[in-house]
Amino acid sequence: MELDLKDIQDIVQIPDSSFMLFVLLFLSITIAILLFSYYIYKSMRRDIDPYHNEALKRAKEIDYSDTKRAVYDFTLLSSYLLNDQNSRLREQILSELERYKYRKSTEKLDPKIVEKMRRFIDG
């Protein structure tokens, strides 16, 4: 007894686009993460720059004739101007400025130290 089944057809290949959808989803998520990271980076940079610019402006206006005020202003403002290139110079200047701090009366700033301070601020 042999059955004659004419209504069953062969297996048909169905187009599948799930791999393309996976790639598209992966790229979309990657781009979203990159854009979010860039936004965070830029917002952090924006917060740092105003302090740096304001400190640079105030540091260029330091009055070196008032020794105590100049020493304390430089100590405070130099921390905002600090980067990898000038950190050693800052430490050297601060160690030389120690003798002008914590005293009731101080002598005038040494011109060599003033020149180093100006070089730090300019550069």
Whether 39 maps to a domain, the answer reads no
Classify the C-alpha dihedral 46-82-100-62 as positive or negative.
negative
Q: Are 62 and 73 a contacting pair, CB within 8 Å? A: yes
Model pLDDT, residue 24: 95
List per-residue pLDDT tens for the chain, 123 residues long.
Answer: 566 667 777 788 888 888 999 999 999 999 999 999 999 988 877 666 678 888 888 988 888 888 888 889 998 888 888 887 888 988 999 898 888 888 777 788 888 988 988 888 887
Model pLDDT, residue 5: 66
Model pLDDT, residue 51: 80
Whether 17 maps to a domain, the answer reads no
Tally the domains of the chain: 1
**Structural domain of residue 57, as residue ranges?**
49-122
* pTM for this entry: 0.58
Whether 115 maps to a domain, the answer reads yes
Residue 112 — φ and ψ, nearest 5°?
A: -65, -40
